[in-house]
């Protein structure tokens, strides 16, 4: 079984006709459900549900406090390479872009890690561009070996691997996998990924599942909002999360709702996803999957992140640089421009002011 089968079940589903039939009473009924069906979730993603956003937000807040407490896990990314063989139109690392390509040496990885560790963070997300040639699994393992000295939880966001490779990295100390499908819309996917191994939609789609099988403790998925119609993307992301959670109950499945940010190249988002849309997505997902994590990154500006602290989000990044070695060598050529440049300390203080506890450590590798 693959999530592809579920996508295909909805291939001819007329989402607009469904939205046309949604009534306000139907939205309120969906909000009131203890356990939402897929159609309840889609109801909450409908344009009609925008009029009930406050009720959705109230319930999302209540459920999140109930299951996660007033806490927020903090983490940060570490970019160790930007070589890439793909040509994703929306990404600065696109192989066709003129960008200084580099890869951190072990000494440089340690230097960058030392700066991050001084902030007190224990959770780190290791990122590279997608190039097996420049950053093979052996290189990732070398980085993990160094990061393990300073961090208790290591996640990866790299090119999709096969199951054996995920197992290999899991045994090396990686406990989390982040991998975005970018878009579940197959036609848009084909246009946005004109060349490189990333053109293989299905291989990428099944990668989170291979990660679950390979021993990852947590798997984070998402669609890059702005590439296709967001309501359908949010729906399929939710179904994907639900599919993974049902199939792999011992893995913590979470989602991210990243929105497009400025980057190298002239590609502009096909769809404008507003703050209201983002809040609707996050609160609807929280009602659909009350115990799943939701990550809000520094793609979003400080004010919005502050306001979304109480709307279902459980994990935030801080002290972020999307450039390779951006903290230790001053590089500014990142994968995308970040919108919230606050330090970890500033993030922690913001959370305390809101009555939330910043959590620096929530896993200890065993």
Partner 1 sequence: MPDTLKIGGRELTSRLFLGTGKFAGNKLISGVVNASGVQVITVAVRRVDTSFAEENILTYIPEDCILMPNTSGARNAKEAVRIARLARAAGCGNWIKIEVISDNRYLLPDNHETIKATEMLSAEGFIVLPYMSPDLMDARRLADAGAAAVMPLGAPIGTNRGLRTGELIRILIEEIPLPIIVDAGIGRPSEAAEAMEMGAAAVLVNTAIATADDPVAMGRAFGMAVAAGRMAYLSGPGAVQQCASASSPLTGFLSQEGCNELS
Residues in touch with partner 1 (CB under 8 A): 65-71, 120, 122, 152, 217, 245-246, 249-253, 291, 352, 355-364, 366
- Residues 263, 301: contact at Cβ < 8 Å? no
Residue 149, phi then psi, degrees to nearest 5? -70, -25
Nearest residue (CB) to partner 1, 173 versus 197: 173
Within 197-297, residue ranges assigned H as helices are 201-205, 207-213, 230-247, 275-288
- What's the closest the beta carbon of residue 365 comes to partner 1, in angstroms? 9
Among residues 122 and 193, whose Cβ is nearest to partner 1?
122
Q: CB nearer to partner 1: give 175 or 300.
A: 175
CA angle 183, 189, 195 (to 5 degrees): 135
The answer to whether residues 259 and 278 touch, using CB atoms and an 8 Å cutoff, is yes
**Would you say 13 or 352 has its CB closer to partner 1?**
352
Look at strands 252-256 and 218-222 and give their pairing.
Answer: parallel
Nearest distance, CB of residue 283 and partner 1, angstroms: 18
Residue closer to partner 1 by CB (options 49, 177) is 177
Q: At its nearest, how many Å lie between partner 1 and the CB of residue 34? A: 10
Token reading at 106: 């072990």
DSSP 137-189: HHHHHHHHHHHTTT-SEEEEE-S---HHHHHHHHHHT--EEE---B-S-HHHH
Structure tokens at 327: 């903290």
Nearest distance in Å: CB 231, partner 1: 25
Identify whether the C-beta of residue 236 lies closer than 8 Å to the C-beta of residue 288.
no
Closer of 78 and 251 to partner 1 (Cβ): 251
| Minimum CB distance to partner 1 smaller for 33 or for 152 | 152
Give least dist CB 364 to partner 1, A: 5
Nearest to 42 by CA among 311, 287, 223: 287
Least distance from partner 1 to the Cβ atom of residue 119, Å: 10
CA torsion sign for 323, 257, 119, 117 is negative
CB closer to partner 1, 142 vs 252 = 252
For residues 202 and 160, is the Cβ–Cβ distance under 8 A? no
Buried (b) or exposed (e) across 93-120, using 16+ Cβ within 10 A?
bbbebebebbbbeeebbbebbeebbebe
Closest approach of partner 1 to the CB of residue 122, in Å: 6
Measured CA to CA, the distance from residue 321 to residue 78 in angstroms comes to 7
CB of 61 to partner 1, least distance (A): 11
């Amino acid at each position: 079984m693959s999530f592809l089968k579920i996508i295909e079940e909805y291939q001819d589903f007329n989402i607009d006709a469904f939205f046309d039939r949604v009534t306000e009473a139907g939205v309120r009924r969906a909000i009131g459900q203890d356990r939402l069906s897929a159609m309840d979730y889609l109801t909450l993603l409908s344009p009609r549900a925008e009029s009930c956003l406050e009720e959705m937000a109230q319930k999302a807040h209540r459920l999140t406090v109930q299951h996660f407490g007033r806490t927020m896990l903090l983490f940060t990314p570490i970019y160790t390479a930007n070589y890439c063989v793909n040509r994703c139109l929306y990404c600065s690392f696109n192989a066709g872009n003129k960008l200084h390509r580099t890869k951190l040496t072990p000494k440089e990885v340690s230097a960058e890690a030392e700066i991050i560790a001084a902030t007190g963070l224990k959770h780190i997300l290791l990122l590279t561009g997608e190039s097996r040639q420049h950053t093979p699994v052996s290189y990732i393992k070398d980085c993990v070996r160094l990061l393990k000295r300073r961090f208790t939880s290591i996640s990866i966001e790299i090119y999709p691997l096969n199951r054996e490779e995920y197992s290999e990295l899991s045994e090396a100390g990686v406990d989390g996998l982040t991998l975005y499908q970018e878009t579940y819309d197959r036609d848009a996917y084909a246009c946005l990924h004109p060349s490189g191994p990333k053109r293989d939609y299905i291989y990428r789609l099944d990668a989170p599942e291979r990660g679950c099988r390979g021993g990852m403790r947590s798997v984070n998925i998402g669609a890059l909002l702005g590439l296709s119609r967001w309501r359908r993307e949010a729906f399929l992301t939710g179904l994907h999360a639900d599919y993974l959670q049902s199939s792999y109950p011992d893995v913590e499945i979470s989602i991210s709702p990243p929105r497009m940010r400025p980057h190298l190249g002239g590609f502009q988002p096909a769809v404008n996803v507003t703050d209201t849309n983002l809040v609707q997505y996050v609160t609807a997902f929280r009602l659909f999957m009350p115990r799943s994590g939701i990550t809000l990154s520094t793609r979003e500006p400080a004010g919005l992140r502050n306001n979304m602290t109480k709307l279902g989000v459980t994990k935030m990044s801080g002290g972020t640089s999307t450039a390779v070695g951006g903290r230790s060598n001053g590089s500014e050529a990142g994968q995308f421009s970040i919108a919230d440049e606050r330090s970890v300390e500033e993030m922690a203080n913001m959370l305390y002011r809101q009555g939330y506890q910043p959590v620096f450590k929530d896993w200890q590798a065993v």
